[in-house]
A and B are shown apart, each in its own frame.
Chain A
């Protein structure tokens, strides 16, 4: 069995603002092993980004409460102090953010921003050595090294995302968290960026946690998938488990697939999920999905739902308990 890189156990995250408690992540367990691409799927407000930020220790200190354990190679991240986290970030775990337009610093050339990461983790390197590494990494992500003196506004969206990827992988992290890396990009550019990411992942042997709402991207790139709803993982499995129509799935997963227009057949209507995602401050009791679920039963409205699993596939739903 491959080495476990990131191990999340019973993670709960709450945000408190003005006395309102938003339960963004609830009882999440997650295991990411070395070398795999793990897909975390869910809609806006499902808690995807919160899980990512918690794994980097980046949640706001005073308005969020983190319970549970997040271990990276056995080292506890939840509640770790800033020095430990700074050491881990960039070198062990790094993150690509959703919006390349706003996550780069507009007043520094991109080469400087990449160089800063290298310098932080390798304090003994000379200036020339840092520059060489910057050139190398830019070449790897497909940007001409001459462009390192340019500022972020001189790059297009796709190119900025490549700069973000360069910053994220320059110290060869074991785990790369990609939070909706291509949502802001056009499809042809998305294809370029995703292929770049996959090739680099193969070269470096890193693991990737791919956070997305796009089931197409998951099917193309991931090995394992967790489906998130209302801050809970409602279904988890190997890619083959989740995308196998002949198996039973969580009603939410079924709804997600039903919402996608199919390119290969022409159905007259889609089968969306009725209703809306609940606000994390107003999560219903019982199964979080029950108010929208077409198969809800009496017992769905109260109490916790246990997960039932067979092999690598597990579903959190009373239908299969």
Chain B
């Protein structure tokens, strides 16, 4: 590939110790995100998507594996060593209600990155920049001295975006940035994120459980199930031809707002996500899989290429 890779994960693992055993939140995840592309990470609650995002940014220390940012391994770097990288990699959080400090004004929140990174030492400079950022994300300058509780969810999420943009990052992890918002506001924020990506040549990792959003915004899509990579492919390919039984089930469970699909029975997969604590060997989807066969429970399936660019981990295709 001649595309320049900005972020690369190699066999990344993040385990948590719990009283009941080792929780495999992210298990052996490898992928590359080329510059100016978006990787959509999809999965249900508990599949490790948010942990993956945080581990990549080194907000959580990886148990093993590497995260290469522009060729440099940042996994395991100390907070101090991370400082120059933090400016280049930012995060937009899911919940606009709890991810900003209620006791800081909007301008304090947006200017905090400048203070921490000791750029723009003059107060005046910082304030100009804050106003500029607010304009970029579509927040009226009127709110510059307001507190977060005065704003609604959509505007708060714009603050989150402005704060993430403050230091001109190259890479942003968006962790469910629109799932707490109403559809009409959700569309406004999605448009904003896409415009910013084009204008500022950003690279995104977009974490979501909403498949229609992910298709809309991503170049590549990675499906996770219980910390494991299940399927990865370019967006169109995976939607036209999902291969893994879990991906198929996930896609067919989406209700489509079109009455032409009314009589499509939602394909229901049985059971629920099993525990990620001390997971058994073998395919983690096996207990719910409609196509389970002998051997699925014994060995973990390999992650293989079934067609160019399309990877899947399933014994049916090995």
Contact = CB atoms under 8 A, between A and B. Distances in A.
Interface in A162-202: 186-192, 194-195
Contact of A219 (B183, B235, B261): B261
A258 interface: yes
A30 interface: no
Contacts of A308: none
B187 A263 contact: no
A37 to B, nearest CB: 12
Contacts of A43: 182-184
B258 A219 contact: yes
A259 B184 contact: yes
Contacts of B256: 216, 219-220, 263
A194 B252 CA distance: 14
Contact of B253 (A188, A221, A243, A266): A188
A258 B187 contact: yes
Instruction: Indicate the size class of the contact surface on chain B.
Output: 35 or more
Residue among B188, B211, B255, B258 with most chain A CB within 10 A? B255
Instruction: Indicate the size class of the contact surface on chain A.
Output: 35 or more
A187 B259 contact: no
Interface in A234-293: 239-240, 243, 255-263, 266-274, 276-277
Given A156-B272, A191-B266, A266-B215, A217 B255 contact: yes
B207 to A, nearest CB: 14
Nearest to A260: B257
B45 interface: yes
B216 interface: yes
A178 to B, nearest CB: 14
A192 B184 contact: no
Contacts of A218: 257
Contacts of A156: 272
Interface string B169-196: 0000000000000111111101100100
Contacts of A277: 182, 184
Given A220-B262, A272-B188, A263 B239 contact: yes
Residue among A188, A191, A219, A276 with most chain B CB within 10 A? A188
Contacts of A243: 257-259
Contacts of A268: 194
A188 B250 contact: yes
B236 interface: yes
Residue among A158, A189, A277 with most chain B CB within 10 A? A189
A221 B211 CA distance: 20
A305 interface: no
Contacts of B182: 43-44, 213, 277
B116 interface: no
A22 interface: no
A261 B184 contact: no
A99 interface: no
Given A43-B184, A187-B209, A272 B259 contact: no
Interface in B228-281: 235-236, 239, 249-250, 252-259, 261-262, 264-270, 272-273
Given A195-B266, A243-B258, A266-B236, A188 B183 contact: no
A214 interface: yes
B76 interface: no
Contacts of B239: 263
Interface of B: 44-45, 152, 154, 182-188, 190-191, 194, 209, 211-213, 215-217, 235-236, 239, 249-250, 252-259, 261-262, 264-270, 272-273
Given A213-B182, A216-B254, A270-B191, 6 more contacts: A188-B250, A214-B255, A220-B256, A261-B190, A270-B190, A272-B188
8 contacts: A187-B44, A218-B257, A221-B255, A261-B217, A266-B235, A266-B236, A270-B216, A272-B185
The 6 closest A-B pairs by CB, nearest first: A216-B255, A272-B187, A261-B216, A259-B187, A215-B257, A186-B44
